[in-house]
Amino acid sequence: MNSSASKIYLAVDLGATSGRVMAGFVSDETGKLVLEEMHRFPTTSIREGNSLFWDIRDIFSSIKTGLKIAAERFGERIQSVGVDSWAVDYGLIDEEGELLGNPHHYRDSRTDGMRAAVLEQVANERLWKETGIQYLFFNTIYQLYAEVRSDPTRLSAAKRLLFIPDLINYWLTGKALQERTVASTSQLLNPITGAWSETLLEALELPTELFAPVIEPGSVVADLMPEVVEETGIRSASVVTIAGHDTASAFVALPGDGDDFAIMSSGTWSLIGLELDSPQLSENAMEDGFSNEVGYAGTVRFLKNICGMWLIEQCLGAWKKAGRAYDYAEALEMAESASPFGSLIDPDAPEFAAPESMPDAIAAFCERTNQPVPESDGAMLRCILESLALKYRYVYRKLGQYASQPLKGLYMLGGGSRNELLNQMTADALGVPVVTGPVEATAVGNIAVQMIAHGAIQGLGEARELIGRSFDSKTFVPSESGDFAAVAERFDALLRQADDLS
C-alpha cells in the first residue's frame, strides 16, 4: 500500500429512505480502513397529483452539505468523491443541460400494465436473451415505455438519460456519463455485448440518443466544477465512477473470498445471489426469476430481488401514525416474544409493493390465503421475519443449481445485517452458517473502488483483504431450536397458492 493510503475518500451513498456522506481512510496506526459519517439525511420523495417523484434537488443540496462538512474536517487530504444509489430511476437532461423535472420514484404507479404492453412488442424469451434481467415492475424499461405511451414529448425533448448516480456526477462535474453497473439494472443493456440493446430500443421506440456508451466503474471522471468547489470548499478532489448501483458497491465489500457461499445485500431490498465471471442466460435461470447484473471488475451479480426491510419499515410507519411508535430494538423484542409460525406471507406479493397500509395489506393476504390474521404487532413482525427467512431459503436452494460447487453458507452484507433475529432465523431456515459483513458495506465498497482508481490499493483482491481485516464479522450457526425445515413445505405451498389466487 503506497503513501496515498492516508488520503480521504468520500462516499456519497444514497438509499431509498436515507443518504449519507461517509469519509474513508486507512489509519496510520492500525493499517485498517476507517469510516467516519459526515452527514446523514432523508432521501425525500414528493407526490404531485397521482405521481410520485424524488426531490432530487433537495437530495443534491444535502449531498453538498455533507461534502462541505468533510472539507471543514479534512481539507486538502480529500482525494476523490464517489456516488452510489438505488437502481433503475433516472433523470432526463435537455439540450441546454437542464433537468426535465424530478425523476419518478420507482414505486410510482405509472408502470402499472407496462409489463403486458412491452410483451406485446417483444417476446419474453427475447427480452431475457437481450438483457438477462428478471422482471420487476419498476425496471427502467417499463418506466420509459410508460413515457412512450403517455408523455412522448418529454422524451423527445431530452438529450440524455442519466441514472441517479450519473445525475449526481453530472451536477458535480458537468460530465453526462452512464456507468455500467447501474445501467445493467435497466433491462436495456445486453450482458454479452456490453452495449445498449438496439433490438429493444427499436422495438419500444426509445430514442437512441438518450443512451451513450457506458463508462466502466473505477474511472476517474473529472475534477469538481468551480461552483461545487465554491459551495463545498473541496479544492482538489476528483469524481470517480465507482460501482454506481449500491448493491454492486456492497458486493465489493465481501467479508471472504469463498465461492461456496451465496451473498446477500440486506436493506430495504434483500438481493441474494452469486458472484460469477459471466452471465447465466439459460431458460431455467429465466424461469427461476434471476438477474445478471454487472458488478465491479467485470464480475456478474447473478441474483434475485426479494422485498426486505421495506415490509418492516412500512409497518412501523403505519403503527406510528396510529399512535404506537416502536424503536427498532423494541420491535425485534416484540417479534421474538411472539409465537412462531402463526401465519406466513410471500414477501414479494404484488400487494406489498406500495400499499396505503402495510399492516392492512398483510392482513388481507392472510385472509385470502385462509390463514389467521396476526393478532398483535409483534405477531405481524414475526410473520414478516419468518417469511423473509423462508423466502431466502427458497431462493438459496435454487441458487445452488447454478453454483460451481455446493453452497456451504451465506454472506450477509449491509444495514439489514444489524437484525440479529432475522440473521439467526435465516441460518436456521437455510441450515448453513450466515456470516455478516460490514454493516456499511455499500459505503465501504464505494471507497475501496476509489482507492483502486487512485492506486492506493491494487485490485479487488487487495481491497477485500483490507476490508476483511478492518471490519468485524459475526457468524450465526443453525440452532437446534429452529423448526424451519418442518414449515418450509407449508411456505412453498403458500407461494403456489398465492400465485394461483393473484
Measured N-to-C along each axis, helices 441-453 and 459-470 cross at an angle, to the nearest 10 degrees, of 140
Tell me the CA end-to-end span of the chain in Å, nearest whole number: 56
| Angle (nearest 5°) at CA 303 between 191 and 488 | 150
| Cell (9 digits) for 429 | 431456515
If one counts every other C-beta atom within 10 angstroms of the C-beta of residue 469, the result is 11
Q: What are phi and psi of 434, to 5 degrees?
A: -115, 120
Q: Which residue in the list 13, 84, 166, 246 is annotated as catalytic?
A: 246
CB 416 within 8 A of CB 266: yes
User: Which residue spans within 242-336 are E strands per DSSP?
Assistant: 261-266, 269-276, 291-294, 300-307
What distance separates the 2 farthest-apart alpha carbons in the chain?
64
Q: Give yes or no: 288 in active site.
A: no
Q: Do 296 and 274 contact (CB within 8 A), yes or no?
A: no
Question: Which residues, including other chains, have CB under 8 Å from residue 484's CB and lie 6 or more apart?
Answer: 386, 389, 390, 393, 425, 428, 429
Report how far residue 267's alpha carbon sits from residue 264's, in angstroms, rounded to the nearest whole number: 10
Helices in 189-272 by DSSP H: which ranges?
Answer: 198-203, 226-232, 246-252
Going by C-alpha positions, the residue among 267, 220, 357, 232 that lies closest to residue 43 is 267
Q: How long is the chain?
A: 502
Q: How many secondary structure helices (H) and strands (E) does the chain include?
A: 19, 17
Calpha distance 332→448 (Å, rounded): 33
Q: In whole angstroms, what is the distance from residue 191 CA to residue 316 CA?
A: 39
And the C-alpha cell for 88?
A: 433503475
Q: Residues 174, 179, 182, 188: what is their CA dihedral angle, to the nearest 10 degrees?
A: 110
C-alpha grid cell for residue 389? Answer: 427467512
Closest CA to 475 of 378, 398, 375, 408: 408
Looking from the CA of 147 toward its CB, the CA atoms found within 13 Å total 22
Per DSSP, the residues of 379-423 read HHHHHHHHHHHHHHHHHHHHHTTTSSS---EEEEESGGGG-HHHH
Whether the Cβ atoms of residue 104 and residue 51 lie closer than 8 Å to each other: yes
CB 194 within 8 A of CB 202: no
Q: Which residues are catalytic?
A: 246
